[in-house]
Structure 1
Amino acid sequence: MKKSTYFQLSFMMFLEFFIWGGWFVTMGIYLTNTLGSDGGETAMAYSTQSWGAIIAPFIIGLIADRYFNAERILGVLHLVGAVLMYQLANAESFDAFYPYVLGYMIAYMPTLALVNSVSFNQLSDPSKQFPRIRVWGTVGWIIAGICISRIFLWDSESGIADGLLRNTFLMCAIASAVLGVFSFTLPKTPPSSTERASISTILGLDALKLLKDRNFLIFFIASVLICIPLAFYYQHAGHFLGEVGVDKPAEKMAIGQFSEVFFMLLLPFFFMRYGFKKTILVGMLAWTVRYLLFAYGDPDGMYFMLLIGIALHGICYDFFFVSGQIYTDSKAGEKYKSAAQGLITLATYGVGMLIGFWIAGKTTDAFAISETEHTWNQIWLYPAAFAAVVFVLFALLFKNEKVEYQQ
């Protein structure tokens, strides 16, 4: 691969996740403190990610894969996203905000698959080359948090009070416009198929027959259920840190991305030494531990507990979700590989997190003291207990089996 191509793909990944990390982490703080939204409205805003994940396969499967080059539709979607981000920055109420964030996520979620398609189309050895490109996405997310917290101070106590988090949407609008234009310079990635696909194929429903396997069925159900406590983190972790007085919450949340890189490197060794079941159980247990740390930590005497809770993100995500992708790949075989991955994505980021965002919103509303104050130690006990139950059920019901790890 040419150095110029490596730079193009890395810069694409950097901007792709800089954009997402630049507004998604602090949106809960912004909605609560600037627009006066309650937990239910915040849940609606975050659940647009799930609606985007559900609709994305149709955009990719029915349009991008058959009629247009991937880099061109990537450019169009990000240019549309830039306009919607600008509108988000100017929304004065939640009612005005919601249609734009819904439209944005419907446009953005398909780009996650498109940047992978553009990358893989240029790689001769994806298992070795892709991680070096994908890591720049994590760097982009981290840099976005540093910009918000350290450079512009938008999520400082005074910045939040002055409504400066509105600028995160403007920053991401500019980045989205840059990526939109830049995408048209990317290497050509022509349509991968000219055949007409059925709805069941696009949604991965062809892989439903895998659910006849008892172990895969248990894994599938556990994957949906564990997304419920996951939604609490995505929706309320940044909100929680800001409300309890943690300085520069966006920067602190970036610790989770550093952790993700570290544990991604550790995962192959752990997986090959201890096997799939133990690896995924460690991932599940980490969710319970994280929420207990959030419940009993505070920004004064127990500040370290909050930081450890954030740093557990690498174990929570990599050991469960990445291990799950490997397991799904091994169970599906060549014929149903893509369908199986699509089915798991639809079930987790679509259905599971959609339910989770709704439950998280209802829970935070139930423990609201005022519009800007909640009994967080009680809130975090719910996802901690839920994750613990999923852990126990999976440990008892899933029979250990050997799964090959292929890098």
Structure 2
Amino acid sequence: MKSGIRLQLSVMMFLEFFVWGAWFVTMGTFLLNNLHTSGTQVGVAYLTQSVGAIIAPFIVGLIADRFFPAQIILGILHLIGALLLWLAGHSADFETFYPLLLLYMILYMPTLALVNSISFRQMDDPAKKFPAIRVWGTIGWIVAGLTIGWLAWEKQNTLALTFQMAAVASGLLGLLSFTLPNTPPLKKGQKVSIGGLLGLDALRLLKRRSYLLFFLASVAICIPLAFYYNFTNPFLNEVGMASAAGKQSLGQMSEFLFMLLMPLFFARLGVKKMLALGMLAWVIRYVFFAYGDVGANYWMLIGGIVLHGICYDFFFVTGQIYTDAHAGEQFKSAAQGLITLATYGVGMLIGYLISGPIVDAWKTGESSHDWTTIWLIPAGIALVVLLLFLLLFKEGHAEKNITMEKAG
């Protein structure tokens, strides 16, 4: 890969995840403290991510795979998104905020598949080269969290500024997208079917038993993940952790380290063990949160945050590489959209629906909760998913070939 293209893709990944991390981590705290919502409303707000993820494969399959270059679509979506984020930051109540957020996430979630597709199309060996590009997304998320902590927006109760910061970054990425390497649609001019127009061609991947089990595991494990995204920042602020958003960036620092080590782990462990270790880390993380505090067990809070590197890289990045290896050349964008649907879509949709009412049910005061019980619930769900995955998932020739490629 030419150094110029590598730089462009790295900047693209940095801004893609800076935009997301700039407001997503602290939105729960913003809603509870600024707009005075309930836990259920926080869950409904985060649920917009799932709505966007469910729609994403259709947008990608309909447009990016057939009609327009991926980088052009990416630019347009981020420019519109910048306006929506700016307006959301000026919302005075949840009723005004929610429609703006919903529309924004419908436009943003397809961009996750688009940046992956643009990157993979420039690589002859994505398994080896993608982690070095994707890690810049992690750096972007880290910088966003550290910026919020450094500016003390949580302490000053000025988290509306996070949406404005994200809006500026989104506008910049929108403009830069038009300079990215041309990524034309691979299926342009081909006979169009209804399934193809809707991006459903990638569903043929589910005919393979190993990929079907991976897909189902992706859906199930993202149910407990929704608890982390929804309520970690409100939880840490409630128990008294200073600069919680800045501390949470330790998770992305861990992600950065493990991203760089991904090829080595892949070569030694293979697909199944990588995915299983990612799930196990989620179980341990939630147990740490359940029993951690800002006193003697402060290390458990930090440990739960730091485990994010294994939680995310070993499952999500492994899954993206695994999906790319299974997808044919004609369906790479749709395949990335499919895995986005499974994880950020269906799985987290269920998680967002149940996490808010659970947090409300274990509320113990005006602004306090029984966090031990709350966190043990997603820990139990993740443990069940892990055990079923270990029992049912079998590595076939395709999975072993991916491992051999990493070793090579």
Cα distance in 2 for partners of 1:325, 1:122 equals 16
Distance 1:365 1:176, change over 3 A: same
Find the counterpart in structure 1 of residue 254 from structure 2: 259
Distance 1:401 1:6, change over 3 A: closer
1:79 and 2:79 matched: yes
Find the counterpart in structure 1 of residue 308 from structure 2: 313
* Distance apart, 1:328 and its partner CA: 4.6
Contact 1:61 1:197 in 2 (8 A): no
Q: Which moved more, 1:70-79 or 1:12-21?
A: 70-79
1:186 and 2:180 matched: yes
Question: Residue 357 of structure 2 is aligned with which of 349, 356, 362?
Answer: 362
Give the residue type in structure 2 aligned to 1:252. K
**Could you list the per-position Cα deviations for residues 335-363 of structure 1 after superposition, in whole angstroms to 9, with x for gaps in the alignment?**
87766554333222211110111111121
Q: Which blocks of at least 5 consecutive residues in structure 1 are unaligned?
A: none
3-state DSSP of counterpart to 1:153: coil
1:304 and 2:321 matched: no
Q: Which blocks of at least 5 consecutive residues in structure 2 are unaligned?
A: none
* Distance apart, 1:5 and its partner CA: 3.8
* Distance apart, 1:285 and its partner CA: 1.5
- Give the structure-1-normalised TM-score: 0.89
Cα distance in 1 for partners of 2:161, 2:207 equals 50
1:109 and 2:109 matched: yes
**Could you list the per-position Cα deviations for residues 21-46 of structure 1 after superposition, in whole angstroms to 9, with x for gaps in the alignment?**
10000001100111011111111111
Q: Which moved more, 1:262-271 or 1:47-56?
A: 262-271
Within 5 A, what are the aligned runs for 1:167-178?
A: 167-178=161-172
Cα distance in 2 for partners of 1:388, 1:8 equals 40
Cα distance in 1 for partners of 2:203, 2:16 equals 31
Find the counterpart in structure 1 of residue 68 from structure 2: 68
Contact 1:35 1:92 in 2 (8 A): yes
Give the residue type in structure 2 aligned to 1:46. Y
Q: Which moved more, 1:13-22 or 1:127-136?
A: 127-136
Give the residue type in structure 1 aligned to 2:279. M
Contact 1:66 1:192 in 2 (8 A): yes
* Distance apart, 1:373 and its partner CA: 2.1
3-state DSSP of counterpart to 2:364: strand
**Could you list the per-position Cα deviations for residues 100-155 of structure 1 after superposition, in whole angstroms to 9, with x for gaps in the alignment?**
001111111122233334444555665554433322221111111111101x1112
Contact 1:84 1:100 in 2 (8 A): yes
Within 5 A, what are the aligned runs for 1:211-290?
A: 211=206, 214-290=209-285
* Distance apart, 1:93 and its partner CA: 0.7
Find the counterpart in structure 2 of residue 146 from structure 1: 146
- Give the structure-2-normalised TM-score: 0.89
Q: Which moved more, 1:374-383 or 1:325-334?
A: 325-334
Q: Which moved more, 1:215-224 or 1:252-261?
A: 215-224
Cα distance in 2 for partners of 1:230, 1:42 equals 15
Find the counterpart in structure 2 of residue 382 from structure 1: 377
Contact 2:89 2:164 in 1 (8 A): yes
3-state DSSP of counterpart to 1:369: strand
* Distance apart, 1:72 and its partner CA: 2.5
**Could you list the per-position Cα deviations for residues 45-86 of structure 1 after superposition, in whole angstroms to 9, with x for gaps in the alignment?**
111111111112222222233333333222221111111011
**Could you list the per-position Cα deviations for residues 219-244 of structure 1 after superposition, in whole angstroms to 9, with x for gaps in the alignment?**
33222111111111111112211221
Cα distance in 1 for partners of 2:45, 2:281 equals 26
Q: Which moved more, 1:184-193 or 1:369-378?
A: 184-193
Contact 1:33 1:372 in 2 (8 A): no
Distance 1:271 1:78, change over 3 A: closer
What is the CA RMSD across the aligned residues, in angstroms? Answer: 2.6
1:346 and 2:341 matched: yes
Task: State the identity %.
Answer: 59
3-state DSSP of counterpart to 1:242: helix
Distance 1:287 1:204, change over 3 A: farther
Distance 1:198 1:304, change over 3 A: farther
3-state DSSP of counterpart to 1:35: coil
Cα distance in 1 for partners of 2:276, 2:128 equals 27
Cα distance in 2 for partners of 1:116, 1:328 equals 11
Cα distance in 2 for partners of 1:73, 1:400 equals 36
Cα distance in 2 for partners of 1:80, 1:339 equals 22
Find the counterpart in structure 2 of residue 395 from structure 1: 390
Cα distance in 2 for partners of 1:208, 1:58 equals 12
Distance 1:187 1:327, change over 3 A: closer
